[in-house]
Amino acid sequence: MTRVTKSKLLSILEPFDGQLHHKILLIAVGGTAMTLLGIKASTKDVDFNIPNRTDYNEFHRLYKRIVPGVEIDHWGSNLVFSEVLPADYIDKASDYKTSFKNIKLKILHPLDIMCSKISRSSDADIEDIETCIKTYKLNKNSITNRAKLYEQVGNDRIFSNNLAIILERFF
């Protein structure tokens, strides 16, 4: 499996930037966000949240045409994986400076990166959660408060149980 580094990720987005009909907002999530933040050297796949429906449709139209050579998971509205992100997630996301003309790139806040991985909690997710906690010195109280703002498309009980396990393990 080919891993995607920060420079590879940006080169994957170049054809999109050149062919977009209008400016769009992409929010890097998951391992993609962690790679752009420099806390992971690479990611196994590329993940974006695209909050605006028109932007989502435009990106999806090009994704089918460009064939970037790597899977790009993209969720519309305020969704990522099986999570419904809190209303302020865009405001909390940080801008990522690029030379793109039509793509505005933001990075999901580390607390949201962590919370968005709770439901799945695979071994890789737990590793990423631990990295976010340690790198950004996230505390139990901030995690608990932020997690309360999350809704799940799937099972709320799984999220709550996994959150309890994560908090017990790391605090």
What average pLDDT does range 129-158 have in this prediction? Answer: 91
pLDDT in tens, 6-36: 999 999 999 999 999 999 999 999 999 999 9
User: How far apart, in whole angstroms, are the C-alpha atoms of residue 107 and residue 82?
Assistant: 18
Residue ranges covered by each domain of the chain: 4-109, 114-170
Q: What tens digit of pLDDT does each residue of 41-63 get?
A: 999 889 999 999 999 999 999 99
Place of tokens 């890097």: 28
> What is the mean predicted confidence (pLDDT) over 122-148?
96
By the 10 Å C-beta count (0-12 exposed, 13-18 middle, 19+ buried), 2 is classed as exposed
Task: Determine the pLDDT at residue 81.
Answer: 82
Question: For residue 148, is pLDDT > 70?
Answer: yes
The helix (run of H) or strand (run of E) holding residue 48 is strand 46-50
Q: What is the pLDDT of residues 65-116, one digit of tens each?
A: 998 888 899 999 998 888 899 999 999 999 999 999 999 999 999 999 999 9
- pLDDT of the residue at 1: 63
DSSP output for 14-42: HHHHHH-SS-EEEEE-HHHHHHHHTSSSE
Q: From CA 51, how far away is CA 68, in angstroms rounded?
A: 21
Across 2-6, 28-32, 127-131, 137-141, least confident range:
2-6
How far, rounded to the nearest angstrom, does the alpha carbon of residue 85 sit from its chain's CA centroid?
A: 10
